[in-house]
Amino acid sequence: MSESTPLSARARLAVTAGKAAAAVSRAAGRGSGSVIGGRVALKFDPELLSRLAGHLDVVLISATNGKTTTTRLVAEALRAGGEVVSNALGANMPAGITSALSAGANARFAALEVDEKYLIAVAQDVNPKAIALLNLSRDQLDRAAETRMMAEHWREGLQGTKATVIANADDPLIVWAASSCPNVVWVAAGQAWKDDAWSCPSCGGVLQRPDDTTWRCAECGFGRPTPTWVLTGDSVLDPHGSTWPIHLQLPGRANKANATSAAAVAATFGIAPQVALQRMQSVAAVAGRYDVVQYEGRDIRLLLAKNPAGWLETFSLIDPPPAPVILGVNARGADGTDTSWLWDVDYTRLTGHPIAVIGDRRLDLAVRLEVAGQNFQVFDTAAEAIRNSPPGRIEAIANYTAFQDLRRVVGN
């Protein structure tokens, strides 16, 4: 892109202050320190984000689900063209993004996951070449804005953007958000969860879904655009009509969808789909997700699912019955404190699996499973739940802080 401009003294000072704060935070045992480092740096220089990104070809990736994984896949693909800087561990607000970018002095590309609420602000700062919008659905009911409001916020903020927007044609809310952009690449990436998109985002009419892929508002005509990238089973159809097989280590339909979007992103940066897809094959786990960990003679696959759409996709990728399943649910700050979303998850899909229930809110889950007629046991700790499961592979599905708890227990 542009030639790299040297950082001003103020910007350099801000980066240094941020690194110092990160070092202190790490020394104090407070994790990687990337967020605190970024926060300190931003305080020293509020325009740091745009300065740090100035010499980079940036792609922003946002969604309710799959943004961390897709960012990782995009980063792997872009490495075919040069050095990439990325917030690989999911620190996706301005402070975490600043911290990631401050390591990118020599990079050519930046692949950045952005929290939905900050997408527009970050896009204004970093002048991205591409923006990928994957999906929008209910998440954290106690504080999140209505999904349509988020789509509207994106729509207004992205109007007239110079970035190429890579958007999921199968999610009506994403189509609504992206359709004000002058340059959109539509991707048929699928969206198994439909319960946040029955109302037409444009006029409020009821969306008609005559088959698995089509959706259209009978009142105003707002409907699915024709995609140029299509996920078909295990392969990607590109805009030239060529089909490329997806070979991922990451499991499930949702990750094939993520790979399809990532291939479309990579293409806007000049990376051919066959090259991009081949590089994505190297990703085995993303921030602990999909990792298989040995513990007490079991192989525990760690699966993160934070909201109904995420649980739905996760159920579709686990081993068939009678594979044992451990379910963990918390309702701490980072999870959202309202557990009523459990009732939007179709737990009858687990019929035939022995289920062990753990987590702070295991009793909410117990009632949910009782009403779904499932066969389950409740345990006070993850270790107990694992010891009481048969040896072999266990599928462990947990929401955000329950997932972190589980990783600590099994030493991941």
Partner 1 sequence: MTASSLRLIWVYPDLLSTYGDQGNVLVVERRARQRGLAVERVDVRSDQPIPTTGDIYLIGGGEDRPQRLAAERLRRDGGLTKAAESGAIIFSVCAGYQILGREFINDLGEREAGLGLLDVISVRGTGARCVGDVLADVDDALGLPQLTGFENHQGVTQLGPGVRPFARVHFGNGNGTGDGTEGAWRDTVFGTYMHGPVMARNPQIADLLLRLHLDVPSLPPVDDRWYDALRAERIAAATQTV
Q: Which residues have a catalytic role annotated?
A: 338
Quote the CA–CA distance of 220 and 226 in Å, as a whole number: 18
Quote the CA–CA distance of 122 and 410 in Å, as a whole number: 36
- The interface mask with partner 1, positions 301-340, x = CB under 8 A, is ------------------------------------xxxx
Residue 220, contacted partner among Zn ion, partner 1, none, CB below 5-8 A by kind: Zn ion
Confirm or reject binding of residue 284 to partner 1 (CB under 8 A).
no
* Nearest CB to partner 1, comparing residues 290 and 341: 341
Residue 117: CB atoms within 10 A of its CB come to 14
Restricting to residues 120-159, name those near partner 1 by CB under 8 A. 138, 141-143, 146, 148-149
Residue 399: CB atoms within 10 A of its CB come to 27
Residue 47, contacted partner among Zn ion, partner 1, none, CB below 5-8 A by kind: none
Residue 202, contacted partner among Zn ion, partner 1, none, CB below 5-8 A by kind: Zn ion
217 is in an annotated binding site: yes
- The interface mask with partner 1, positions 179-208, x = CB under 8 A, is ----------------x--xx----xxx--
User: For residue 139, which phi and psi values (nearest 5 degrees)?
Assistant: -165, 135
Cα–Cα distances in Å, from 20 out to 14, 39, 94? 10, 12, 18
* Nearest CB to Zn ion, comparing residues 42 and 217: 217
Residue 238: CB atoms within 10 A of its CB come to 19
Restricting to residues 366-395, name those near partner 1 by CB under 8 A. 366-368, 370-373
Residue 199, contacted partner among Zn ion, partner 1, none, CB below 5-8 A by kind: partner 1
Quote the CA–CA distance of 45 and 38 in Å, as a whole number: 10
Q: Which of 277, 185, 252 is nearest to 395 (CA)?
A: 252
Q: Which amino acid type is present at position 229?
A: W
Cα–Cα distances in Å, from 103 out to 109, 207, 233? 12, 45, 38
Contact between 161 and 181 under an 8 Å Cβ cutoff? The reply is yes
Residues that bind Zn ion (CB under 5 A): 200, 202-203, 205, 217, 219-220, 222
181 is in an annotated binding site: no
Binding residues for Zn(2+): 200, 203, 217, 220
Q: Rule CB under 8 A: which residues touch partner 1?
A: 138, 141-143, 146, 148-149, 195, 198-199, 204-206, 337-344, 363-364, 366-368, 370-373
